Amino acid sequence: MQIETQNTVNNWKLYTLTNQHNMSVSVLDYGGIITEINVPDRHNSIENVVLGFKSHADYKQNPNFLGAIVGRVAGRIQGASFTIEDQSYSLEFNEGENHLHGGASGFHQVVWAASPFQTKDTVGVTLTHTSADGEGGYPGKLVVTVTYTLTNSNELIVDYAAISDQTTAMTLTNHSYFNLSGDMARTIHDHHVTMASDEFVELDNALIPTGNKLAVTNTPFDFRNGRKIADGIDSTFPQNILVSHGYDHYFILNPNQAEAIRVKDEISGRVMTIKTNQPGVVMYTANGLTEGLELADGLSKRYDGVCFETQASPASLHHVGFPTVLLEAHVPYDKQTVFSFSIVR
């Protein structure tokens, strides 16, 4: 187990965590951005399985949120406003008339205080940030800690902790784009996804939840027995077409699942499983990924990666019956998502 620290552009620091199986994870203190995750394939070729810029300087403008910690609220907030206890709060309009991923002062664009650590079986880095009361329009002074831990079992554990001195809206996620083919060898069309979810959230033309939860049965959103992402990309189902052919939807995860999501790339043999205590996940298949970005493994194009944004639902701010994003004053926020990597021969 080892950790290396490297100074990079803009006085940012890059922390590279490596375990005894030569799996490595690289994290910037800027935005808490995961720039690389290198894991072996069935032939023991170690390759990068997330999208990242060739130059770290390009993360300064990161409209696709590559690899970043997203908050205070991950996702879209309708009308860039919400109400808590009859008090209205106005946020930045940064996607039409709505608010996306915390706005310009979101957590993806701040330098976090970083502390690397190492134990006998783990190596990691703890990131801390204090968001002032009123920052971005959100109430409450919020102290946030995100810890990335790499284990010798090829697990990347992401722990989110926070506490606010006022009731506020908050749900954090990581916005890594995964591509298990390795070094962007292929698009994600043939990635096979299994997900324990009976319902997903319907979107309107502005990609805002309508307030309806739809059953996955007999739709391209039914991943309970597994299917390829291409099924949704090529589908004529209205909700797939609505998001520019693919997925950008919140799936409500079935409770008490040991493994919420399993992703497999048949050619490389790589498998990624996801466990979380979050109530749901946005699966985004990079339908709107900016094309022509200079990434570490080539120029970007649509469907180069898939995000699994484990989180609560911003729809809860305007509709009943959704997993809430409200964090009560002085009540600790404590969430975890575990990404595990393995190989099928």
DSSP string, 314-342: GGGGTSSSS---EE-TTPPEEEEEEEEEE
Q: What is the distance between the alpha carbons of residues 186 and 265, in angstroms, rounded to a whole number?
A: 10
Token reading at 3: 């950790």
pLDDT at 105: 83
Q: Name beta bridge partners: 251.
A: 200, 281
For the full predicted model, state whether its pTM sits above 0.85: yes
What pLDDT is attached to residue 243?
98
Do the Cβ atoms of 51 and 65 come closer than 8 Å? Answer: no
pLDDT value at residue 259: 86
Separation between Cα atoms, residue 325 and residue 169, nearest integer Å: 5
Integer Rg of the chain from CA: 19
Token output for 193: 């996804």
| Residue ranges for the chain with pLDDT beneath 70 | none
Residue 193: per-residue pLDDT? 98
> What residues are paired with 150 via a beta bridge?
123, 156
Pick the CATH number of 2-343 from 3.30.1510.10, 2.70.98.10, 1.20.1050.140, 3.40.50.10190: 2.70.98.10
* Residues acting as catalytic residues: 175, 309
Consecutive H or E run containing 238: helix 238-242
pLDDT, averaged across the chain: 97
